[in-house]
Chains A and B, each alone.
Chain A
Amino acid sequence: MADERGTHDHDHDHNHDHDHDLTFQPNIEDGEPGRYELMTYAIRELVMEKGHLTPEELRAAQEKVESLQKSDGAKIIAKAWTDPEFKQRLLEDGNAALAEVGVDAGAAKMTVVENTDDVQNVVVCTLCSCYPRAVLGMPPDWYRSKSYRSRVVIEPRKVLSEFGTDVPDDMTVRVHDSLADLRYLVIPRRPEGTEGWSEEQLAAIVTRDTMVGVANPSVS
């Protein structure tokens, strides 16, 4: 196949709890496992038998991956919107500011950029799918797709319009290409009509796509 898309089954319901079980057995109703599913189980058995990984380490890593399914990003943006000093620290040193709120952004540099009335920032990783996982969780399918990776750097306005985001001609679009050592997070524009809102109310309108920059928050 030419792309990552179109290979996913949607018609079965996985039992997500069994991931935490170290005697984990794959869901047998799923039929025959694929090559890479088998490879994953084989690697796990071999590295654990040979002492390269303990059950405790694997469990902790599994819990971390599970927790990444729930993104903290919206809360961080809401705080940045209501606390200008925090926002300033985020823009100056993303890793340090995130550490303040208990988020370990990892070894890669986290660069935080802000959407303004004049600038729309968009994040991509053309070479692979580097993504601010510590803040946004795992990257969505489209972010990993060859279509997005290849096109957003040459025709960002067209790509944004495919996401339903129309950028006025007089606004600058800035596309940031991530690397293994450099990640980006977008602070979206705070929409009008949210004056006096609580952080909780604000967080509710901040979606993943707005923090990648392909969409903008709205109050409607």
Chain B
Amino acid sequence: MADADDPRRGYHDIGGKDYGPIDPEVTEMKPWERQSTAISNALGAAGRHIYVTDESRRAREQMGEPLYSDLDYYERSTESMKMILVEKGLFTDEELEARMNEIAKRMAEARE
């Protein structure tokens, strides 16, 4: 969980480090990224209050460094939302994986 140089730091706590030059290019949100943001907003503090912003931040700090570093911004927020919804018992990991497989199949069929 901790930073390699300073065990008191979480891996998300990167202020003052040096991750190199800033790429100024700005990309548009992908449709699924907007979907994920909308679902999260509708379930979160601005909607059903199933969770609040601090919980989704806590999930980001709990997912582990390898996953945190591997995921991009919207992947991270989707992973955090999933972690919280599973914790709160809205669905199980197994249910979700099964549904993802089902949707992948449906989409593959639609592509044929």
Contact = CB atoms under 8 A, between A and B. Distances in A.
Q: Is the interface of B mostly helix, strand, loop or mixed?
A: helix
Contact of A14 (B31, B48, B85): B31
Interface residues of B, number: 65
Contacts of A25: 110
Contact of A127 (B13, B23, B45, B100): B13
B5 interface: no
B6 interface: no
Q: How large is the interface on A (under 10, 10 to 19, 20 to 34, 35 or more residues)?
A: 35 or more
Interface string A42-54: 1111110010110
Contact of B31 (A26, A38, A60): A26
Contacts of B46: 106-107
Interface string A167-182: 0000000000100110
Given A36-B74, A141-B25, A150 B14 contact: yes
Contacts of B102: 42
A38 B43 contact: no
Contacts of A24: 31, 35
Interface of B: 12-32, 34-39, 41-43, 45-48, 50, 52-54, 57, 60, 69-75, 78-79, 81-82, 85, 90-91, 95-96, 99-100, 102-104, 107-108, 110-111
